[in-house]
Amino acid sequence: MQVLWICPKCGRGFANRNQSHSCSNVQLKDHFVGREPQVVQTFHRLLAAATKSGPVTVLPEKTRIAFQVRMSFAAFTLKRRWIDGHVVLARKLDSSRFTRFEYFSPGNQLHAFRLLEPAEVDDEVEAWLAEAYLVGEQKHLSPARRSARQR
Ligand SMILES: [Zn+2]
């Protein structure tokens, strides 16, 4: 496993050397100020769901909170009454709950959604996070090896 590159300014670790990002001193609790309690609870449910796949680095940025393994695989912006979030998947997934889709590359396809309360972090959302976690681990980058093993 490769060693992460650590940004000397903000101390965050990245898979790619000199990964572009915005260094920040924002703390997680700053994102909870002025938010309805159910919004904060929803965020904690999301984090708990994501960590079912393994350890997650939580990166509070200026306008959003990113979940990262080697790469960021999900990010959430806490509003007063809801959360706008997205997961990064290595395919286009259809769900009526997605509000926006953006294609960046085969391994980087953004699926955005909005959540209002903790109960919305259900099996479907957990499945999105579990699939996105694999993207965060960059395991999807070796499909040739995977298909070779299946034979
Ligand atoms: Zn930095």
∠ Cα 59 87 104 (to 5°): 100
- Ligand 1 centroid–CA 50 distance in Å is 24
| pLDDT, average across residues 40-47 | 97
CATH 3.30.1460 fits 24-139, yes or no: yes
- Ligand 1 centroid–CA 62 distance in Å is 12
DSSP state of 81: S
- Ligand 1 centroid–CA 9 distance in Å is 5
Q: Cα 30 vs. chain centroid, distance in angstroms?
A: 19
Q: Specify the pLDDT at position 46.
A: 97
Give me the residue spans of the domains in the chain.
Answer: 24-139
- Ligand 1 centroid–CA 20 distance in Å is 8
Q: Specify the pLDDT at position 9.
A: 83
pTM over 0.85: no
Mean pLDDT of all residues in the chain?
Answer: 89
pLDDT beyond 70 at 147: no
* d(C-alpha 80, C-alpha 127), whole Å: 26
Q: Specify the pLDDT at position 132.
A: 97
3-class DSSP state of 22: coil
**pLDDT tens digits, residue range 87-145?**
999 999 999 999 999 999 999 999 999 999 999 999 999 999 999 999 999 876 655 54
